[in-house]
Structure 1
């Protein structure tokens, strides 16, 4: 493609009609298997997966830098015909506001960092610089440009537009024929309106539970083994597992194809999103296998089960982090490495820190590598994470106003300890034995340790009986950190296949023993939540692909939701966000909405369409709720208090957090309905005392 052609098409919108046509062609009844590889470029290469973008960091060490990588996985040709791939790019302004269009050309250097099973893994390093204006990059593979090979950089004064998602796949037995809509199409529709600079994967970017059926040696072992088998991890099983994870990633990340026991799916827009929006990922159990880390120690230490975890981790690094396990992990500054190798995955945990533009930063906590049934992360690793955060926030000299904390599993969520007690009771022993033998409902128990299938999900939760103490400690440390450094913390989570917005905030109960202090809180915190150092939202958004739970589960969660007293000064609850359904009608359950969804977090000053705010003035408190019907919060001047009436200020430094919920899973237009909250910055610093004490 000529320079003139690049310039002429520089500001063209995305081909949304073409994307929708792809969605229609990809509905389950039209599928005939996994699409083939694509041949790209001249000289041509056969691309099995990619190009996929990964974001690493920007504004590092006082610079205006921007770092990332591009992954390209190609099929090996015969030795005499092999061609090395190359990626060239043009970079220029993202909008016409800069005046004349001036483009610069460059090449991203490539490294062949891994080879196996007839595939070569190439990583291309993106080293760019932020400018006074937002930039657009168009890149080519061996000289071939297309409308999908592009991405955006914020200006040096901007914070990034962030898209957040999780549960990006179906559980093994889901009837995929019921789903014709694609939320990834809606992602690209919104990306066309206001570009996402980065997308954050909160875990389960791929579903690998089908290893139980696709790896025949592993399936055979599961069928014949006793509950706790000490069979050795043979070369046959290793090879089978490697073939499975490699193929599963190639099909899902490369084509958007996956097949379960009740049907297949082709999420064809997902690979196109990977080509256009740089990703940041942590992993969760389904990136490995359902429940990994949350079974008993005796189960987790079986050689074959540990083998599953270690092999899955290898491909997680290859495809989601563009890194080989044999490479020096200490050379990448975005990693926060664990203090010691995990108990089952014999690798250092890899949490990550990155700056998302001028005023927003993100830390993603690796909550799977060190996980056991009684531990999520070791104290030594937590110490490393908080030390890194202290260094980075301090070095920003007050520029960082929002810190996003990425946790795969919600940390502020209704307690289910009573269900844990029932499902873990010895009284269920005979029933579980009958289920294992197939005499009664076989699906009641899992294949790994014979426990009730639901129990591993409950054990994964922060509020599970074994994790509650660690959970309270972590929330206390985050609260103190926010107050000390004057940064607003927001937690991003998924996992639970529905949407809700939970929060922690300064306590304001009428019957509190310190009544005078509470009166003061009502006047100050309710009118000025930007002064509440204990205000932490947990944005819980999932699944972008997987099926939502039934209405009964959402109702149960609502009935279990109440104000929890975290300590003598802090409460936690769930926000009344869903007062309307996705069709605009009134809802009975205001707290939990069980439809597929994803979220985004946009700095208010980045918004282009602000018409819904025209009826408000700067500083007005706006109640969280449907985007089309935002309401001003009621006055608190009389000292009255209700958590249902709390609002958050219309302010340029607010982070506009929006949930996008699917309207109809059978609609190929993939329409969504929005709910939002304005998350305020934290003004001032606070030396909080007695955090965690009742």
Structure 2
């Protein structure tokens, strides 16, 4: 395989997230009285009084043997772990199989118990029931397992699964609270006969709040001087307080009504994004990103992400010799390749752990990932890339210009954005100067999925502005060559293997669908779709920011090693956002048809259009004895309506067609 067209520097293992900073008894550079312990702030108590969970996770399937692999995790402080029995729902025999608990981690008095699950898959979808029994009683949960040759998997995808710390209680109530869209997911789960899996595209929690809630971190932010903050020690007290903060964020958030039931009944596959650590992690300047405090917060956040979202630890992962589940290439970042039946694969890429201001992934990571996709078995027709931040998205051209204008006048920005309307007459002309001045950068931040830390804390570092935030996007100039390399390489693999490549992303607080394609050959291997679902809980982007994003010029993907030049240099691959939102949830016509600023999630099913005459995707397709059915993906956007009590509206489906081999 050819070497990458950009030369990122790969840190060694000693610099990886596995490195644990040495705890020291003092915090150099801090002044004032010692703050109260963050541990004392959080009262940890599960809803049922005994345990947190169960969290049901999909690991993978053994395609050849027809075995479904998963795990269930429970966190409890009870003297004994709950017992879990599992059986086919229709099997009422008196001796169901008992799953064995394994303690994988201890936090204070809380034990993390993992129950591995392996189920022999039948010829068609079957329903399975597992019962969790503790000293207070028994609770049953049901989920579906696809047939071993079944290709018509049904799944949902979501991101933005928590409110930003800055979202007021009034705004949360107006949106219907945390559980509104999750309640709809559960209803759709019943109506469709059960989703086989759910894909969490990052931001399952919003860890940003620790900067406001953990006293030691608040004191660190108030420490004057970059060097003092960069060199401040990480102490045992920091370790305890930050670990407990993330433990509390996960246990309390995953214990919310409807979300709790969804994570117990729909097997999940999750990936990390910035809010699972904190807002914008990876895109800050070196002096901040490489400080002891930020590096160690990142290490702990990744540890807790692995525990709660993947039921594992770094110690366990170091002793795994296969890549059936998570694997690392450089020692930083954990990725996965998972089968959703014989014909669909999801590739989950950690785009946070190796991120800097100038790259998303290290070169060796690409060189390790691409062969895994290029060597997928012939049965695979669709490869869905779970990439938490979208690759195909309108540029924030106006905001880029604004950031550059302010590059030498940051004090004006930090002093309340009081010159925003004057400097950007083009912006004011689009949306009205008064509204721009009033909401300013806060809405821009929200439009690219940034709110908590970047919206409220970063200016305390003295020199961060909107330009720093835009560097978090794939479409930023600093990521341009890397983005082109990824797109062009996947086009080559698609051409060789006959696999349709699709990007599935969240992060940006708006729903939409885009694609790169060759207009003269609209169905060939150069066509790759981008599905964007965000947010399922967080507050969506404002109307006027979406209006800016709709006014962007056309772009083309350049050849490898060249920079994007908009519509001035035409190539064989054009970027477009699809117009799929013609009417609003209220039924009125929409001016902005490409992006929807409402809370949402997507529902996806693989189907054979030829095998289901007269309908789009009413039934599942299966592999026949004489070869493969040609599968397409149907993607429905489920969007919240007006107010807290209006039923969601469905848009779509967006059809991702199969790729003829060699096209």
Please, what TM-score do these two structures have when normalized by structure 1? Answer: 0.75
- Partners of 2:291 and 2:509 lie apart in 1 by 30
The question of 1:179 aligning with 2:187 is answered no
- Partners of 1:322 and 1:184 lie apart in 2 by 22
In the other structure, the counterpart of 1:289 is 278
- Partners of 1:336 and 1:121 lie apart in 2 by 19
Write out aligned runs for 1:340-419 (5 A).
Answer: 340-341=330-331, 348-391=332-375, 393=376, 396=377, 398-417=378-397, 419=399
| Range moving further from structure 2, 495-504 or 101-110 | 101-110
Closer/same/farther in 2, CA of residues 36 and 84 from structure 1, 3 Å limit = closer
Please, what TM-score do these two structures have when normalized by structure 2? Answer: 0.78
Aligned partner of residue 326 in structure 1, secondary structure: helix
| 1:584-617 alpha-carbon deviations (Å, 9 max, x no partner) | 22211111111111002111259999986599xx
Closer/same/farther in 2, CA of residues 612 and 428 from structure 1, 3 Å limit = farther
| Range moving further from structure 2, 134-143 or 115-124 | 134-143
| 1:118-158 alpha-carbon deviations (Å, 9 max, x no partner) | 100000000111110211111111275545x1211011121
- Partners of 1:461 and 1:411 lie apart in 2 by 8
In the other structure, the counterpart of 1:640 is none
Aligned-pair CA distance for 1:170: 0.8
The question of 1:423 aligning with 2:403 is answered yes
| Range moving further from structure 2, 570-579 or 138-147 | 138-147
| 1:523-572 alpha-carbon deviations (Å, 9 max, x no partner) | xx4xxx3xx11111000110000111111011100001535354521111
Aligned partner of residue 210 in structure 1, secondary structure: helix
- Residues 510 and 599 in structure 2, CA contact (< 8 A), matched pair in contact too: yes
- Partners of 2:285 and 2:611 lie apart in 1 by 51
- Residues 84 and 132 in structure 2, CA contact (< 8 A), matched pair in contact too: yes
Aligned-pair CA distance for 1:465: 1.4
Aligned-pair CA distance for 1:209: 0.8
- Partners of 1:113 and 1:570 lie apart in 2 by 48
The question of 1:86 aligning with 2:76 is answered no
In the other structure, the counterpart of 1:140 is 131
- Partners of 1:132 and 1:284 lie apart in 2 by 36
The question of 1:545 aligning with 2:537 is answered yes
| Range moving further from structure 2, 578-587 or 362-371 | 578-587
- Partners of 1:168 and 1:193 lie apart in 2 by 23
- Partners of 2:149 and 2:327 lie apart in 1 by 30
Closer/same/farther in 2, CA of residues 135 and 433 from structure 1, 3 Å limit = closer
Aligned-pair CA distance for 1:419: 2.3
In the other structure, the counterpart of 1:648 is none
- Partners of 2:84 and 2:479 lie apart in 1 by 46
Aligned-pair CA distance for 1:652: 6.3
Write out aligned runs for 1:557-576 (5 A).
Answer: 557-566=549-558, 568-576=571-579
Aligned-pair CA distance for 1:63: 1.5
In the other structure, the counterpart of 1:22 is none
Alignment match of 2:605 (pick from 599, 602, 606): 602
In the other structure, the counterpart of 1:276 is 265
C-alpha RMSD of matched pairs (Å): 2.9
Closer/same/farther in 2, CA of residues 373 and 324 from structure 1, 3 Å limit = same
In the other structure, the counterpart of 2:315 is 326
- Residues 89 and 142 in structure 2, CA contact (< 8 A), matched pair in contact too: no
- Residues 227 and 448 in structure 1, CA contact (< 8 A), matched pair in contact too: no
Write out aligned runs for 1:525-674 (5 A).
Answer: 525=522, 529=523, 532-566=524-558, 568-604=571-607, 613=616, 653-667=631-645, 670-674=647-651
Aligned-pair CA distance for 1:677: 1.2
- Residues 164 and 199 in structure 1, CA contact (< 8 A), matched pair in contact too: yes
- Residues 435 and 444 in structure 1, CA contact (< 8 A), matched pair in contact too: no
Alignment match of 1:189 (pick from 168, 184, 187): 187
- Partners of 2:612 and 2:43 lie apart in 1 by 39
Closer/same/farther in 2, CA of residues 104 and 413 from structure 1, 3 Å limit = farther
- Residues 586 and 642 in structure 2, CA contact (< 8 A), matched pair in contact too: no
In the other structure, the counterpart of 1:123 is 114
Listed as ranges, the gaps of 5+ residues in structure 1 are 1-32, 41-45, 77-81, 94-99, 257-267, 342-347, 509-520, 616-650, 687-694
In the other structure, the counterpart of 1:506 is 518
Aligned-pair CA distance for 1:177: 2.7
Write out aligned runs for 1:84-123 (5 A).
Answer: 84-92=81-89, 105-123=96-114
Write out aligned runs for 1:158-173 (5 A).
Answer: 158-159=150-151, 160-173=153-166
Alignment match of 2:147 (pick from 131, 135, 155): 155
The question of 1:683 aligning with 2:660 is answered yes
- Partners of 1:237 and 1:35 lie apart in 2 by 19
In the other structure, the counterpart of 2:213 is 214
| 1:260-289 alpha-carbon deviations (Å, 9 max, x no partner) | xxxxxxxx1001100001111111110001
- Residues 160 and 507 in structure 2, CA contact (< 8 A), matched pair in contact too: yes
Aligned-pair CA distance for 1:673: 2.9
- Residues 339 and 345 in structure 2, CA contact (< 8 A), matched pair in contact too: yes
- Partners of 2:532 and 2:383 lie apart in 1 by 16
- Partners of 1:275 and 1:472 lie apart in 2 by 39
Count of residue pairs brought into register by the alignment: 555
- Partners of 2:271 and 2:577 lie apart in 1 by 25
Closer/same/farther in 2, CA of residues 614 and 151 from structure 1, 3 Å limit = closer
- Partners of 1:178 and 1:39 lie apart in 2 by 28
- Partners of 1:52 and 1:614 lie apart in 2 by 30
Closer/same/farther in 2, CA of residues 34 and 183 from structure 1, 3 Å limit = farther
Listed as ranges, the gaps of 5+ residues in structure 2 are 1-41, 418-436, 443-454, 560-570, 619-628
RCO comparison, higher one (Cα < 8 Å, 6+): 2
- Residues 595 and 661 in structure 1, CA contact (< 8 A), matched pair in contact too: yes
Closer/same/farther in 2, CA of residues 180 and 420 from structure 1, 3 Å limit = same
The question of 1:483 aligning with 2:499 is answered no
Aligned-pair CA distance for 1:337: 3.3
| 1:318-365 alpha-carbon deviations (Å, 9 max, x no partner) | 101111222234345234533333xxxxxx310111001121111011
- Partners of 2:660 and 2:556 lie apart in 1 by 26
Closer/same/farther in 2, CA of residues 662 and 608 from structure 1, 3 Å limit = farther
- Partners of 1:50 and 1:533 lie apart in 2 by 42
